[in-house]
Structure formats: C-alpha cells, structure tokens
Amino acid sequence: MLSVHHLTRTFGRTTALDDASFDVPRGQLTGFVGGNGAGKTTSMRIIMGVLTPDRGTVTLDDAPVTRRTAREFGYMPEERGLYPRESAAEQIAYLGRLHGLSRAQAEGRAIALLDRLGLAARAYDKVESLSLGNQQRAQIAAALVHDPEVLILDEPFSGLDPLAVDDVMDLLQSSARRGAAVLFSSHQLDVVERIVDSVVIIADGRIRAAGPREDLLAAHAGQRHRLVAPAGGDLAWVGTVPGVSGVEFAPGRVEFDAPDDAAHEVLRRAVAAGRVQEFAPVRPTLAEVFKDVIQDKPDDAGGPVPPGPEPLGGGSSAAGTHPTAPAAGGTGVAR
C-alpha cells in the first residue's frame, strides 16, 4: 500500500497541503478529486520526490519512499513532457530501457501499449505531429512502459475522446489487477465513479473524505428512496404516507424522501398491494457527494490521519532525469 502521512507544504504564504493523509491500496484504482488549486498536483509531486514536504512522510508497504524508490514509479504529469521532434515509440522504448528493460523488451512493450491505445499506426510519427489527444495517449504509454508497481497519473483523461477514455481505463484496470497501486486525478467525476475502487476528496489542501467508493456513496445516500411497481401499478398513494416528501413520479416508479419509519411503511403497503418490483435507497452520484463534502466545513483533524514518523528528507529531483516530467518540479505553483 502507498500511504501519505500528514503532508504539509507551503509556497510562501499559500498552504498547498495542510496535514493531508490518505492511502492508495495495491490492486485498486484510487481517484483523487478536488477543484483547481486543491492540492492534488502538489501531493503527486511529493509522492514522486519532485517536491519535498515541509512536514510528513510517504511510505510504500510501510517503508519510506526514497528518491530511488520513486524512480521506479510510473508518473504522468499534467504537463505533456515527451520531446516533440522525436517519435512516440522511440521515446517510450528509451524510457523502458532506462527502467532496465532490454532493447527488444522495451520496443515490444512500447508498440504493444501504443496498439492498445489505438496509436500503432502513428507510433513512429513525431510527437509534434500528433493531436493533443494522441499526445496524451503516448504520455500514458510512457508512464506504463516498465509495468510499475505504483502508478501516479495527473489528469490522464484530459483531452481524450470517449473511445480513448475506455482504452485508458482498460489499461489502468489491467495495472491494478496485476497488483499495482494506482492513483489518478481527474475532473471528470463520471469517469472516476465508473472505474475507481476508492476515492480521495481534497479541498483547500485538506483531505475532506477518503475511502472505498461504495462506502462513501452510501454514507451520503440520505433519505431518498425509489419504488418501482409492475407495469400499470398505481403509485399515487405514496405521497399520502405520513413523513413522505419530495415525491417525484415517472411511469411505473416513484422517488421520495422519507425517514426510515416512513420508508418502511411505504414498503409495507406496497408489498401488501403486490406492487413491488424494486425498492431501494437512491444512491447519489460522486459529483453530488463531492459537492456535499467540499461545502461542509472541515473538522480540525483535516480528514483521515494514518500514523506517520518523521519528515521526509532529501532533494527535489527524483524525476529530473525522466523525460516525461521535465516541467514537473520547482514551479512553485500549488495545485
């Protein structure tokens, strides 16, 4: 498991991270969501060793993440970093060789990844000749070429069409199935909700919520319920049950707000009338949960706080030799 413990990072008078802690389990996809300037990119750069925190630690399987450890991670920064006048396949293969693959392994892996991403026909075209969406696909392949055990991706779906989004989702899920810890940020909450196992929500540098997707959605389900009746069933009576409010009708179904006792009474009457095809709480979308969470005033703890030892030390150039991240360090910009 990849874990960050109590990360704090300031840029001048701006606090980009404020005692942020969360886990990225192996074998899962963890979505990292927050508004612009929330602290996502700063967190990722600290995990990669591109930035050092003012306070806090990063661990992998309970061992401190060092600059050497982080070099073996797969990283895709938000800024595109492939060299524009070289081909995608050659650069991706080169990165594979830097990570210890043989020439044949690196070239084979590069072409296989580009093929899965729909770029095999353009593999040896210069990056500058590719559309922005295709450059994004190549950048993702560069992060995956050495089959890393930790994968950190900053906005991997940006600029992708729906088919490309599906291709990238398939690759990320394949990495997770092989046991990788996968953390990615995205503003496309519908995409995040479709594929993640866990979610981390950050706002103003503080972790507002973190945990399994289903637990998070269930915790914010509220008192909304749905009753579906067989075709032709009359459901107008639901609005007459004491405690029921916010009733919305559609053919063969009704949604309503009700506390548990009123919801149980609706179910009892529906069963007695033989009119139950489905009865269930209405689960909110991740976008709705996100809005609820970031609008709530954070508590003093700043979200879930796993234990952590002393501060992470060392320099700030872990990815400095990695061609996919030339612009990732030292910008002084909190995101």
Q: Which residue has the tokens 């190549």?
A: 138
Last residue of a domain, one of 238, 259, 281: 281
Is the same domain home to 231 and 139? no
Question: What mean pLDDT comes out for the span 273-301?
Answer: 81
Is the same domain home to 202 and 273? no
**Euclidean distance between the first and the last CA atom of the chain, given in angstroms as a whole number:** 24
The values of phi and psi at residue 333, to 5°, are -110, 125
**Domain, as residue range, for 230:** 222-281
With 0-12 / 13-18 / 19 or more C-beta atoms within 10 angstroms meaning exposed / middle / buried, residue 223 is middle
Residue 333 resides in a domain: no
Task: Give the pLDDT band (50/70/90) at residue 297.
Answer: low
Residue 311 resides in a domain: no
Is the same domain home to 147 and 266? no
pLDDT beyond 90 at 86: yes
In this predicted structure, what is the pLDDT of residue 299? 52
Residue 42 resides in a domain: yes
Is the same domain home to 249 and 121? no
Residue 330 resides in a domain: no
Residue 328 resides in a domain: no
- CA–CA distance, 107 with 102 (Å, rounded to integer): 8
In this predicted structure, what is the pLDDT of residue 296? 72
- CA–CA distance, 303 with 289 (Å, rounded to integer): 15
pLDDT beyond 90 at 324: no
In this predicted structure, what is the pLDDT of residue 232? 65
Q: Which residue has the tokens 């389990």?
A: 25
In this predicted structure, what is the pLDDT of residue 319? 35
Q: Which residue has the tokens 């507002």?
A: 208
Is the same domain home to 205 and 266? no
Last residue of a domain, one of 281, 303, 321: 281
Question: What mean pLDDT comes out for the span 95-120?
Answer: 94
Domain count, the chain: 2
Closest CA to 39 of 207, 286, 159: 207
CA torsion angle 25 29 34 35 (round to 10): 150
In this predicted structure, what is the pLDDT of residue 298? 56
Q: Which residue has the tokens 């989004």?
A: 165
Contact 30, 176 (CB under 8 A): no
Is the same domain home to 108 and 158? yes
Is the same domain home to 55 and 130? yes
Residue 168 resides in a domain: yes
Is the same domain home to 242 and 140? no
Is the same domain home to 123 and 243? no
Last residue of a domain, one of 234, 253, 281: 281
pLDDT averaged over the chain?
86
Model confidence pLDDT, tens digit, residues 168-203: 999 999 999 999 999 999 999 999 999 999 999 999
Per mean pLDDT, which range of 153-162, 250-259, 323-332 is the poorest?
323-332
Residue 236 resides in a domain: yes
Is the same domain home to 188 and 132? yes
Closest CA to 330 of 49, 14, 34, 20: 49
Model confidence pLDDT, tens digit, residues 233-281: 788 899 999 999 999 998 888 999 999 999 999 999 999 888 788 998 8
In this predicted structure, what is the pLDDT of residue 140? 95
Residue 325 resides in a domain: no
- What are the start-end ranges of the E strands in 66-162? 74-76, 150-154
Per mean pLDDT, which range of 7-16, 50-59, 247-256 is the poorest?
247-256
Task: Give the pLDDT band (50/70/90) at residue 10.
Answer: very high
Contact 282, 223 (CB under 8 A): no
- Domain of residue 140, CATH code: 3.40.50.300
In this predicted structure, what is the pLDDT of residue 171? 94
Q: What 3 state SS string does 172-221 have?
A: HHHHHHCCCEEEEECCCHHHHHHHCCEEEEEECCEEEEEEEHHHHHHHCC
Is the same domain home to 162 and 32? yes
Q: Of the spans 29-43, 75-89, 230-244, 310-324, which averages the highest pLDDT?
A: 29-43
Is the same domain home to 214 and 237? no
pLDDT beyond 80 at 304: no
Contact 66, 314 (CB under 8 A): yes
> Side-chain half-sphere of 34: how many Cα atoms within 13 Å?
26
- Domain of residue 235, CATH code: 3.30.70
CA distances from 148 to 74, 98, 180, 182, 318 (A): 5, 13, 7, 10, 16
174: Cβ contacts below 8 Å, ≥ 6 apart: none
Q: Which residue has the tokens 């559309």?
A: 131
